[in-house]
Structure 1
Amino acid sequence: MESPALAAKNRPPVVGEWIACARAITYKGTNIDPEVYGQGFRGWYAALQPLWRTLSGGGASNTFVEAKGVRDWAKFQCSGKNSLLSVIAALYF
């Protein structure tokens, strides 16, 4: 059974391109506008969060607020090639 993957919905296109290039360590992306990319990354990262973690604040001051009670991180137990490594690679871009 294959492990679950992180959601690709709203993922910055450059991350998908990197994955399509077999996650080449030499891939650097092309024509990346830092402001647009940053907004896209934040949206994707926020969408990956469990329901009990919500955003608070506005703009660059957004922070995650955790609800009290049970905190299930099972959504992130992805051991496949496109798991949390994709998030780390996205931070590189």
Structure 2
Amino acid sequence: LDLEWANVVRLWFNLDAKGSFETKDGKLGTGNRPGAVQGWIARAWNAKWRPTKLDMAKFSEEFKKWWHGLQPEGREQEPDCFITLSKVEGVEWGLLKARGTNGIASIVAALAWWREGIIAMPHSKPREMQARDLQISRFEEALEEVVYIFRAM
């Protein structure tokens, strides 16, 4: 989890640096935005705030729906994948380029909570291990998808 996560954070920093850390590029869409992200925004993007008692299965599905809704036209769900969408040439990334707290910082924050939630998941029993492994797989796929977008922008 750590190497790809560090890559996401590095790429996010580079994107913001490219824009001189300005926040004037708009906002991400709010359709299907996870409740945890809304809670963070309602608390003025407090860096210390964390959602409590995240249901990881529900949260990963919410993130997926939100992520898919943020994508430009032409990106289609890849078969047999949780979140991965098609890689198409000449895409205009539009509002995904939004910087600042209402922009891609919200994506990175949601990924951070997802990661923390996975780390906190119990995994001493077979069923718990299976649920955690599924979330790790989904999270890693989401990281790959975000890395693709951040590099493309």
Q: When the two structures are superposed, what TM-score results if normalisation uses the length of structure 1?
A: 0.83
Which segments of 5 or more consecutive residues in structure 1 lack a partner in the other structure?
A: none
Rg larger in structure: 2
Identity across aligned pairs (percent)?
28
Is the CA contact 2:72–2:94 (under 8 Å) kept in the aligned structure 1? no
Please give the alpha-carbon distance, in whole angstroms, between the structure 2 residues aligned to 1:28 and 1:83. Answer: 18
Please give the alpha-carbon distance, in whole angstroms, between the structure 2 residues aligned to 1:47 and 1:58. Answer: 19
Please give the alpha-carbon distance, in whole angstroms, between the structure 2 residues aligned to 1:77 and 1:37. Answer: 23
Task: Please state which structure has a larger fraction of its residues in helix.
Answer: 2
Please give the alpha-carbon distance, in whole angstroms, between the structure 1 residues aligned to 2:62 and 2:80. Answer: 15
Please give the alpha-carbon distance, in whole angstroms, between the structure 2 residues aligned to 1:59 and 1:81. Answer: 29
Number of aligned pairs? 90
The residue aligned with 1:5 is 27
1:8-61 deviation line (CA, Å, top 9, x unaligned)? 11000010000111111111112210011001101101111111211112453x
| Structure 2 letter corresponding to 1:66 | K
- Note the 1:1-93 alignment, pairs <5 A: 3-58=25-80, 60=82, 62-68=83-89, 70-93=90-113
Please give the alpha-carbon distance, in whole angstroms, between the structure 1 residues aligned to 2:68 and 2:96. Answer: 13
Give the aligned CA root-mean-square deviation in angstroms: 1.8
| Structure 2 letter corresponding to 1:89 | A
The one of the two structures with greater contact order (alpha-carbon pairs below 8 A, sep at least 6) is 1
Which 4+ runs in 1 deviate beyond 3 A?
A: none
Which segments of 5 or more consecutive residues in structure 2 lack a partner in the other structure?
A: 1-23, 114-153
